[in-house]
Amino acid sequence: MLPIVFGLIAGAATLLGMWLVLAKEAWSRRNSVYLIAFSIGILLAASFTEIIPEAIELHPQALLIVLGTFFVFYVLEHSVVAHHHHLASDEERGTSDERHVPIEKMAFAGLAVHSLVDGLAIGAGFEVSPALGILTTLAVILHEVPEGITTLSLFLHANYPRQRAVLFTAIVALATPVGAIVTTFVPALRSAAMLGVLLAVAGGSFLYVAAADLIPETHRARHIPAILLMLLGILVPLAVERFL
Ligand SMILES: [Zn+2]
Ligand SMILES: [Zn+2]
């Protein structure tokens, strides 16, 4: 049951990000960079020190799966990432009223797949050990708030009507508990080899999200706080490993 609870909390974190945009868009986009910097540290350190090594132990082809996942995420999120840069420059120039290319269904699929993998990662983490479960959950929850902010901003800036933008973001948020529920209730996913595959996919997606989606966002943050927060994030998985 624990993975489902944490999956729901992670989904709620996306909704929190969404709510922040609805309440105070400029403020949340400006300040989320610090949470982003912290969550990058956790995502990278959790992947490199815990999730991927565990995946390699469980599945001989784990590193190939990490690489494949990284590539698939690039394909899925290509149009989203293109728009990320776009949003950043919109804000600098203050010309958010320009017309944008509508978000492709592909991009929406990319966001939903990403959230689903977040949920699978939580489920697989808890199957392996409570410590790994808590670590993956932490890595997911902290980046879900900025992700909710980004997702809703993307739909709004692509001139989707507010209600539809909220609906799409909620669907993306829901994919995380669905992933956690699937891992908990499908016994076939809980064999050692399959857990290795799931953790390798989680590792590949965490690395992609940290390096390709989140790191570029931090370039608009003040340097020293961003660097220190990322470093602090890197220390979290090391501390979790030591004390749990
Ligand atoms: Zn834009
Ligand atoms: Zn995520």
- Distance (angstroms) between ligand 2 centre and the Cα of 32 equals 15
- Identify which ligand lies nearest to the alpha carbon of 92: 1
225 or 63: which leads in pLDDT: 63
8-12, 47-51, 85-89, 129-133: the lowest-pLDDT one: 85-89
pLDDT recorded at residue 29 = 77
Give the pLDDT of residue 118.
Answer: 93
Ligand at shortest distance from the CA of 86:
1
User: Measured between alpha carbons, how far is 206 from 202 in angstroms, rounded to an integer?
Assistant: 6
Question: 10 Å Cβ neighbour count for 98?
Answer: 10
State both tokens at 145.
């708030």
Q: How far apart, in whole angstroms, are the C-alpha atoms of residue 14 and residue 224? A: 27
- Strand ranges for the chain from DSSP E: none
Q: What is the pLDDT of residues 94-153, one digit of tens each?
A: 444 444 455 556 677 888 888 999 999 999 999 999 989 999 999 999 999 888 888 888
Q: Which of 9, 244, 213 is nearest to 122 (CA)?
A: 9
Mean of the per-residue pLDDT values of the chain: 85
Q: Nearest-CA neighbor of 77 among 198, 217, 212?
A: 212
Centre of ligand 1 from the C-alpha of residue 97, in Å? 9
**What span, in angstroms and rounded, lies between the C-alpha atoms of 130 and 85?**
37
Secondary structure (DSSP) of 72-111: HHHHHHHHHHHHHHHHHHHHHHT-TTS--PPPPHHHHHHH
Assess whether pLDDT exceeds 70 at residue 15. yes
pLDDT digits (tens, 9 = 90+) for 188-213: 888 999 999 999 999 999 999 899 88
CB 65 within 8 A of CB 201: yes
Instruction: Fill in the amino acid letter for 3.
Output: P
| CA angle (94 as vertex; 92, 99 as ends), nearest 5 | 115
Instruction: Count Cβ neighbours within 10 Å for each residue of 11-47 and write b for 16 or more, e otherwise.
Output: bbbbbbbbbbbeeebeebbeebbbbbbbbbbbbbbbb
**Region 156-162 average pLDDT:** 82
Q: Residues 6 or more apart from 110 whose CB is under 8 A from it?
A: 73, 76, 77, 78, 79, 80
For 21, the token pair is 């945009």
Angle at 144 between CA 138 and CA 176, to 5 degrees: 85
27: confidence class by pLDDT, cuts 50, 70, 90: confident
178: number of Cβ within 10 Å: 17
Token pair 């969550």 is found at 39
Closest among 31, 28, 8 to 19, alpha carbons compared:
28
Q: How far does the centroid of ligand 1 lie from the alpha carbon of residue 167, in Å?
A: 19
Name the DSSP class of 210. Answer: I
Ligand 1 centroid, distance to 87 Cα (angstroms): 4
Farthest-apart Cα atoms in the chain, separation = 52
Q: Which ligand is nearest to the CA of 160?
A: 1
pLDDT of residue 218: 87
